[in-house]
Homo-oligomer: A and B are copies of this chain.
Amino acid sequence: MFDNKDKTEINDLGEFGLIAHLTKAVELTEPSTIKGIGDDAAVLDFSNKKTLISTDLLLEGIHFDLRYVPLKHLGYKAVQVNLSDIYAMNGKASQITFSIGLSSKFPLEAVEEIYEGALIACKKYNIDLIGGDTSASAQGLVISVTSIGHAEADKIAYRSGAKEGDLLCVSGDLGGAYVGLQLLEREKQIFLDNPQIQPDLEGKDYIVERQLKPEARMDVVELFEIYGIQPHAMIDVSDGLASEILHICNASKVGCKLYEDKIPIDPMTYDTAREFGLDPTVCALNGGEDYELLFTVPQEQYDKVKNQLDITIIGYITEEAAGCEMISKSGNVHPIKAQGWNAFKAGK
């Protein structure tokens, strides 16, 4: 990934030096940021809007494998994953804090790459980086991100707002990040067995990017604003469609019908899943890390969502007693079960 010859030792800079060095490229552009990095706490002004907060921990060997995740992508993804939670509330993400724990194997240049990826994500999504913590780590790389956003009270979409009769919708397509991961894992194994063989990812850009460089769906939240769509309930797809549907149904005390043939799956995801002997539907249901938005809207908004190219209606909300079920392509009915990604079973 990087060699340490001619690299700068972080020790030489010290903590304050490192922070000053890393944050010198940080610009504040969000009107709600009053004070960013450089005091005990950041100061934000959301005037009469509600404040939204979400946080994630990303740990080496659990959430990422540095043998195939480029550091810049890692910084980028760490931010995206977190912003996704703010968009999933139908909010505007505006700030993040970004903390890194670094083992001594990392030279300054490696940290710079992580940070650069994070700042590219911030710039693209108009996010101010307003704080964080930087520390040595006795073990692997640790990244902790907290994202902050805001929304008007009546715009916030909780998981618990779904109503019987609502349309169940999802943005983008599903399963790609999981299938991309299978591909990266396979190429890593081939490389470990024979380091002379270069990874063969040709023509697979889309699903590799879905895994390494996901994009949080700020654009979908903006589209809601433009078209006057108000989701009753919303969640982002981080653990797989099945798990997220159950979160909405449990929180809202409703059931649902999901149509397998409506689940949006990209042709490359489909074909590559098949190559691996995987069922593409199962990849979408249980794969995770797609960071699409799953939401429900009242039927009256059918006209507003049906023509959105990037939104698919995949089912509808029922009463709770009817349970959460998927109608398969062959017409069979299966209960939806969560087998989502489990950070306590991933890694080793």
Closest to A338 in B: B16
Q: Are B62 and A101 in contact (CB under 8 A)?
A: yes
In whole angstroms, how far apart are the Cα atoms of A251 and B16 in the complex?
14
Please report which residues of chain A, range 2-47, place their CB below 8 angstroms from some CB of chain B when the two chains form the complex.
10-11, 13-15, 18, 34-35, 38-47
Partner of A34, one of B44, B50, B139, B147: B50
Q: Are B53 and A146 in contact (CB under 8 A)?
A: yes
Partner of A159, one of B40, B51, B148: B40
Q: Are A38 and B159 in contact (CB under 8 A)?
A: yes
Q: Are A138 and B61 in contact (CB under 8 A)?
A: yes
Partner of A146, one of B35, B48, B55, B60: B55
In whole angstroms, how far apart are the Cα atoms of A62 and B57 in the complex?
18
Partner of A56, one of B35, B133, B153: B133
Total identical chains = 2
Q: Are B89 and A39 in contact (CB under 8 A)?
A: yes
Q: Are B342 and A14 in contact (CB under 8 A)?
A: yes
Interface string of A294-337 (1 = CB under 8 A from B): 00000000000000000000000000000000000000000000
Which of A15, A60, A135, A347 has the largest count of B CB atoms less than 10 A from its CB?
A135
Closest to A44 in B: B51
Q: Are A38 and B251 in contact (CB under 8 A)?
A: yes
Which of A136, A347, A348 has the largest count of B CB atoms less than 10 A from its CB?
A136
In whole angstroms, how far apart are the Cα atoms of A134 and B59 in the complex?
11
Which of A91-99, A190-198, A260-268 is found at the contact surface with chain B?
A91-99
Tell me if A124 is interfacial: C-beta within 8 Å of chain B: no
Q: Are A51 and B62 in contact (CB under 8 A)?
A: no
* 6 A-B pairs in the complex with CB atoms less than 8 angstroms apart: A11-B345, A38-B251, A41-B91, A46-B51, A61-B138, A142-B142
| Besides A38-B251, A59-B137, 5 other A-B contacts (C-beta < 8 A) | A39-B89, A40-B84, A42-B53, A45-B50, A57-B133
